[in-house]
Amino acid sequence: MFSIFDIPSQALFGQLLIGLINGSFYALLSLGLAVIFGMLNIINFTHGAQYMMGAFVAYLLLQLAGLNYWAALVVTPIAVGVTGVVIERLFLQRLYQLDHLYGLLLTFGLALIIQGVFRNYYGSSGLPYQVPPLLQGGRNLGFMFLPNYRAWVIVFSAVVCLGTWFVIERTRLGAYLRAATENPTLVRAFGINVPRMITLTYGFGVGLAALAGVMAAPIYNVSPLMGQDIIIVVFAVVVIGGMGSIMGAIVTGFALGVIEGLTKVFFPEASNTVIFVIMAIVLLIRPAGLFGRSA
């Protein structure tokens, strides 16, 4: 046991861990937002609700179908992703010719509907979700205690983030995606089905949100309101990082989680607001965001 700046190391590393956990979710969610924004030019306000749906689907799979955490980790993103595909086909497709703000308003309305319905059936208190048996317990690292599940969340979300980055930046499919972002008409002329690609991109982004929801279920309680505040923080993360770059979204997400965690140690009153303050400072110094290209 030692201390840094009069803060005991246990508290410091504990908050650092919580910061990394939150950062994992910020990174996954802002990554999904950035992928969706790149193709659809829509800011997906429903993202928080879809994150919540991910946690609920995992909870219901366990309660009703007896499917465990590992199965939920695979099934949930697909199931929620399919609802995303339906939303894109039914609603979003009609908005591409209009001002981008209509996309924001429509997805905001959808978020209200989804959250309202879940709140009606499950109230606003949280439902518990057990940590899977394989990941229960933890290990003592000497300077702190590390629960296994939390280590898993950090590692797995980093892997998912980097995997997404690899697919988009380093594969042929990703090249098509990036090309369609730049010039959809030209890419269509090459015989690539761009509307289908847009639909699937939205489904994928939504699936990422749902995956984050499944991972969050054992840490936070499963609650209809779990997505509504985190989405605003993620918006701030996206503004800070700038939406131009996939890697930017990932790095900013993790970094801000850590900064938030450290603020909890050194200046707890400001821990809720620190990300927003950073956003304001970044906007004043570098309006396009840290990794963004100026419009």
Q: Is 64 among the residues that bind another protein (CB under 8 A)?
A: no
Q: How far is CA 150 from CA 113, 139, 195, in A?
A: 32, 11, 38
CB of 195 vs another protein, minimal distance in Å: 18
Sequential DSSP letters for 233-275: HHHHHHHHH-TT-HHHHHHHHHHHHHHHHHHHHH-GGGTTTHH
Is residue 178 within the footprint of another protein (CB under 8 A)? Answer: no
Q: How far is the CB of 284 from another protein (least distance, A)?
A: 7
Footprint (CB under 8 A) of another protein, residues 267-286: 269, 272-273, 276-277, 279-280, 283-284
Cα separation, 271 vs 167, in Å, equals 34
Residue 34 beta carbon to another protein: minimum distance, rounded to whole angstroms: 12
**What would the x/- binding string for another protein be over residues 34 to 53, using CB under 8 A?**
---------x----------
> Using the rule CB under 8 A, is 86 a contact of another protein?
no
For tokens 């497709």, what's the residue?
A: 93
Stretch that binds another protein, among 15-23, 89-97, 175-183, 204-212 (CB under 8 A): 89-97
Beta strands in 91-198 (DSSP E): 138-140, 145-147
Do residues 31 and 246 make contact, with C-beta atoms less than 8 angstroms apart? yes
Q: Which stretch binds another protein (CB under 8 A): 106-114, 158-166, 187-195, 215-223?
A: 106-114
1 lines the binding site for another protein (CB under 8 A): no
How far apart are CB 154 and another protein at their closest, in Å? Answer: 25
Query: What count of other Cβ atoms lies within 10 Å of the Cβ of residue 225?
Result: 17
Q: CB nearer to another protein: give 132 or 244.
A: 244
Total binding residues for another protein by CB under 8 A? 42
Does residue 89 contact residue 200 with C-beta atoms inside 8 Å?
A: no
Indicate the residue type of 104: L
Taking the least distance from each CB to another protein, the nearer of 55 and 95 is 95
Residue 228, Cβ density class (10 Å: 0-12 exposed, 13-18 middle, ≥19 buried)? middle
